[in-house]
Amino acid sequence: MIQKVKIVIHGVVQGVGFRPFIFRLAKELDVKGWIINSSQGVFIDAESDRKTLESFIRKIDTDRPKNSYIQSFEHTWLDAEGFETFEIRESKESGSKTALVLPDVSTCNDCLDEIFDPKNRRYLYPFTNCTNCGPRYSIIADLPYDRCNTTMGEFEMCPECRAEYTDPLNRRFHAEPTACPKCGPQVTLKGTDGTVLYEKQEAILNAVKAIKDGKIIALKGIGGYQLLCDASNQDAVITLRKRKRRSEKPFALMLPNAKMVIAECEVSESELRLLSSVEAPIVLLKKKKNIQSAISIECASGNPYLGIMLPYSPLHHILMKELGLPIVATSGNISEDPICINEEEAFEKLADIADYFLVHNRKILRHVDDSIVRIVSGKQVMMRRARGYAPLPVVLNGIKGVTLAAGPHLKNTIAINKANNVFISQHIGDLENIESINAFKRVINDIKSFYELTPEHVICDLHPDYISTKYAESLDIPVHKVQHHYAHVLSCMAENELEGSDMLGVSWDGTGYGTDGTIWGGEFLVPQGISFKRAAYFKPFRLPGGEQAIHDVWKIGLSLLYSVYGEKVFELEIIPFLKKNDALLVKQLLDKNINSPVTTSAGRLFDGISAIIGIRDTVNYEAQAAMELEFAADDFKTNEYFSFSIDESGGSLIFNWENMIKGIINDLNESVPKGKIATKFHNTLAETIVQIVQRLKYSKVLLSGGCFLNKYLLEKSINRLTEEGFKVYTQQRVPSGDGGISLGQMKYSTYIN
Ligand code: ZN
Ligand code: ZN
Ligand code: FE
Q: How many angstroms separate the CA atoms of 540 and 563, rounded? A: 10
Indicate if the pLDDT at residue 97 is higher than 70.
no
Nearest residue to 716 via CA among 613, 656, 636, 655:
636
Cα–Cα distances (Å) from 435 to 245, 335, 386, 555, 703, in that order, read 19, 12, 18, 32, 33
pLDDT on residue 95: 54
265-283: pLDDT as tens digits: 999 999 999 999 999 999 9
Instruction: Name the percent of the chain lying above pLDDT 70.
Output: 99
Task: Give the ligand with the smallest distance to the CA of 135.
Answer: 1
Q: Which ligand is the nearest neighbour of the Cα of 523?
A: 3
Residue 100 is predicted with a pLDDT of 86
Concatenating the DSSP letter of every residue in 130-173 gives BTTBB--TTTB-SSS--GGGBTTTTSPPPHHHHHHHH-TTSTTT
d(CA 730, CA 314): 35
Ligand nearest to the CA of 122: 2
Chain-centroid distance, C-alpha 1: 29
pLDDT of res. 231: 98
| Ligand 1 centroid from CA 580, angstroms | 60
Among the ranges given (4-18, 92-106, 189-203, 261-275), the one the predictor scored with the smallest mean pLDDT:
92-106
Q: Residue 509: nearest ligand to its CA?
A: 3
Length of the chain: 753
Q: How many C-beta atoms surround the C-beta of residue 175 within 10 A?
A: 21
| Mean pLDDT value across the chain | 95
Which ligand is in closest contact with the Cα of 708? 3
Mean of pLDDT values over 437-464: 97
**373 C-alpha to ligand 3 centroid (Å):** 18
Rounded to an integer, the average pLDDT of 706-722 is 98
Pairing of strands 305-309, 253-254: parallel
Least distant ligand from the CA of 312: 1
Whether the Cβ atoms of residue 6 and residue 74 lie closer than 8 Å to each other: no
How are beta strands 700-704 and 727-729 bridged, if at all?
parallel
At 511, which helix (H) or strand (E)? Answer: strand 503-513
Which ligand approaches the C-alpha of residue 69 most closely? 1
- Sorted by where each starts, the structural domains of the chain and their CATH numbers stand as 2-88 (3.30.70.100), 101-184 (3.90.870.30), 187-360 (3.90.870.40), 391-494+740-749 (3.30.420.360), 508-730 (3.30.420.40)
CA of 75 to the centre of ligand 3 (A): 24
Residues within 5 A (CB) of ion ligand 1: 108, 111, 130, 132-133
Tell how far the Cα of 278 is from the centroid of ligand 1, in angstroms. 11
DSSP 195: -
The 10s digit of each residue's pLDDT in 492-515 is 999 999 999 999 999 999 999 999
Q: How far is the C-alpha of 492 from the C-alpha of 497, rounded, in Å?
A: 8
How far away, in angstroms, is 180 Cα from ligand 2 center? 4
- As a whole number of angstroms, the distance between CA 490 and CA 483 comes to 10
Cα(223) to centroid of ligand 3, in Å? 26
- Relative to the alpha carbon of 521, which ligand is closest? 3
What is the structure's pLDDT at 189? 98
Query: How, if at all, do strands 265-266 and 282-287 pair?
Result: antiparallel
| 198 vs 337: which has the higher pLDDT | 198
Q: Residue 93's pLDDT is what?
A: 60
Helical (H) or strand (E) element with 714:
helix 711-723
**E strands along 180-257, which residues?**
187-191, 196-199, 217-220, 225-230, 253-254
Check whether 314 has a pLDDT greater than 80: yes
Q: What is the pLDDT of residue 40?
A: 79
Those residues whose C-beta lies under 8 Å from the C-beta of residue 394, and which sit 6 or more positions away, are: 421, 422, 424, 494, 495, 733, 734, 743
The pLDDT score that the predictor gives to residue 26 is: 96
452 exposure class (CB count in 10 Å sphere: 0-12, 13-18, 19+): exposed
Ligand with minimal distance to 128 CA: 1
Is residue 200 a contact partner of residue 207, using CB atoms and an 8 Å limit?
no
Cβ atoms of residues 537 and 522 within 8 Å: yes
Ligand 3 center to residue 720 CA distance, Å? 24
Indicate whether 400 pLDDT > 70: yes
Q: Is the pLDDT of residue 343 over 90?
A: yes
In which band, very low, low, confident or very high, does the pLDDT at 649 lie, cut at 50, 70 and 90? Answer: very high
Give the mean pLDDT of 463-480: 97
Identify the nearest ligand to the CA of 172 by its number. Answer: 1
Ligand 2 center–CA 257 separation, angstroms = 29
Residues with CB under 5 A from ligand 3 (ion): 509, 738
Q: In angstroms, what is the span from residue 156 Cα to ligand 2's centroid?
A: 8
